[in-house]
Amino acid sequence: MNLRETVGRFIPLVPTLLDYELEHSRHDLLAGLTTGVLLIPQAMAYAMLAGLPPIVGLYAATIPLFVYALFGSSRQLGVGPVAMVSLLVASGVGQLAEPGSSTYVGLAVVLMLMVGAIQLTLGLVRAGFLVNFLSHPVVAGFTSAAALIIIFSQLEHLLGVDLARSDKVHEVAIEAVNRIGEVQLETIIIALVAIAILAALKIWAPRFPRALLVVALSTVAVWAFGLHARGVDIVGDIPAGFPSPALPGVDLEALRTLWPTALTIALVGFMEAISVAKVFARKNRYEIDANRELVGLGLANLAGSLFRGYPVAGAFSRTAVNGQAGARTVVASLVTGVVVVATLLFLTPLFYYLPNAILAAIITVAIVGLIDVEEARRLWRVDRRDLALFVLTFAATLGLGVQPGILVGVGASLIAWAIRTAQPRSVVLGRIPGTDIFRDVERFEDAEEVDDLLILRVDESLFFANVAFLRQAVTEHQREAEQHEGQALDAVIIDATSVNYIDSSADAALHEIHEQLDEDDIELHVAGLKQPVHELLDRSGFTEAIGEARIHLSVHEAVESLTDEPRRTSDANEPDEAPSAA
């Protein structure tokens, strides 16, 4: 491997720049500018959602974006502040400090450092598979509930009334109703007009920078009519320039308190990024490396913590805009970063009269689409057990809060998985007449059981948690078969084609099943073993115990061997001639 390839393995941006084709420049420039225009108001809005000053959102939208472009594997992923992570920040840091205070900002920076360290560590140890523990129904239920929580969290800005912060929807709703008489009319009008414009343009002109339009119109309106003097809350002074790099102050007590939030953000942020990155990678025919994504996001968060940012992830909406605008390489992200830096250096005074209601409206319209009603309908049709997980996670997140909600969902999905694997499906097989095909007799009416044989298929790998179920299944099916046939079985055939793994407990159970059947003068046969499982049974002595002749490549072969040979309990074991009568 030459130097260029070695560097490219660790810093993917290097070969991208060395091999950059000028024909991509127009597409990347347009996509970068378009995404940058969208990112500026979104970053400020999501910072407000996180309980932070809007300027912190702009800080989080610069350095992390450049660092991800260096180390990430996606060409279109829009890295920066996102709604879900912002809500988690507000939920976690809000327990320790007053939103907007200097202590609060400092803790958010520490949280970003922790998230980056967790993601980088997971990437280096190649633990990208951990995100699989966040099942799709759990994520959909959590996201839908979190979207509602986010929308209700913006009511104070949409109504112009100071409401107590809470991640429990019912508490916010009750307080809002009780204080409906304090609503600020001008604020509501601004918010409703902005939501109408954003929603209309989202349908009719999805590529138009609608967020920037409502920001510009509302800012001019507040300045021209002096609406800030009539009670409309505005962003106010935003410091220009860029903060000097500095290590965040780390407090051990804060670390202990924030680590569950940091772990949740690290996994949820990674999951959000990898899911949208894979969509655009498939469209553009290149591969995404999950562990490389963890490293890229981890380094982005670590670097951002040096410049007073807060945790970032990959955004669905901005990635979609970036991809639809024609981004071909990560150069588009570099252009986006330059746009944000230019805004920080020269344009922050233009946002002085920006109403907070506009930022709340931007968040509300962006978030509504995350309420996944269609997924609930799909789960109703496909798998109602998964629908139960969706509903449980949704209800827990709404009723208990953001972090308890996702913990309940993950815990419930693990319990559901444990129950399913501890009680594997087992079916009795019968032959389709005139063929060598065997199918479930309950699902295929023409499948016929073979006389004196029980053919049992186990649809799960066998391990310590389900060996008791395996023994019970063999016993119950044996009893049912004998009652049905009216006589003892000659053999039991276990179809192991669905068994990918057997542990020592399952191996011991197979020995016990063989010994029990042998006492009842019933042969045990096994068919369809995968090679690694067969080798394990060879080492354990199971193959020797039942005899190599009882290990078969297929159920058909096993049945043929039994129906062609004399049975131990057949007439072949009786005298050729009956004794004469006395």
Buried b or exposed e, range 249-276, using 16+ CB within 10 angstroms: eeeeebeeebeebbebbbbbbbbbbbeb
Does residue 292 sit in the same domain as residue 440?
no
Residue 196 inside a domain? The answer is: no
Q: Tokens in use for 37?
A: 């225009």
The pTM assigned to this predicted structure is: 0.75
Residue 537 inside a domain? The answer is: yes
Does residue 482 sit in the same domain as residue 510?
yes
Q: What is the mean pLDDT of residues 194-200?
A: 93
What is the per-residue pLDDT for 569? 40
> How does the average pLDDT of the chain come out, rounded?
86
Does residue 488 sit in the same domain as residue 381?
no
- For residue 6, pLDDT over 80 is answered with no
Could you identify the residue written with the tokens 């993917």? 12
What is the per-residue pLDDT for 2? 61
Does residue 437 sit in the same domain as residue 552?
yes
Task: Measure the CA–CA gap between 488 and 168, rounded to whole angstroms.
Answer: 62
Task: Measure the CA–CA gap between 332 and 313, rounded to whole angstroms.
Answer: 17
- Greater pLDDT, 37 or 332: 332
Start-to-end C-alpha separation, the chain: 95
User: What residue numbers bound the domain in which 491 lies?
Assistant: 426-565
**Burial of residue 102 (number of CB atoms within 10 Å: 0-12, 13-18, 19+):** exposed
Does residue 408 sit in the same domain as residue 432?
no
Residue 48 inside a domain? The answer is: yes
Q: What is the mean pLDDT of residues 395-402?
A: 87
Q: Are strands 313-315 and 78-80 parallel, antiparallel or unpaired?
A: antiparallel
Does residue 443 sit in the same domain as residue 523?
yes
581 falls in which pLDDT band (50, 70, 90)? very low
Residue 221 inside a domain? The answer is: no
What is the per-residue pLDDT for 266? 93
| Per-residue CA distances from 445 to 89, 429, 432 (Å) | 57, 11, 9
Residue 164 inside a domain? The answer is: no
Residue 473 inside a domain? The answer is: yes
Taking Cα atoms as reference points, which of 154, 149, 147 lies closest to residue 48? 154
**Run of H or E residues at 331:** helix 331-342
What does the pLDDT look like over 511-535, one tens digit per residue?
999 999 999 899 999 999 999 999 9
Q: What is the mean pLDDT of residues 60-71?
A: 94
The total number of structural domains that make up the chain? 2
Taking Cα atoms as reference points, which of 484, 550, 552 lies closest to residue 517? 550
Residue 435 inside a domain? The answer is: yes
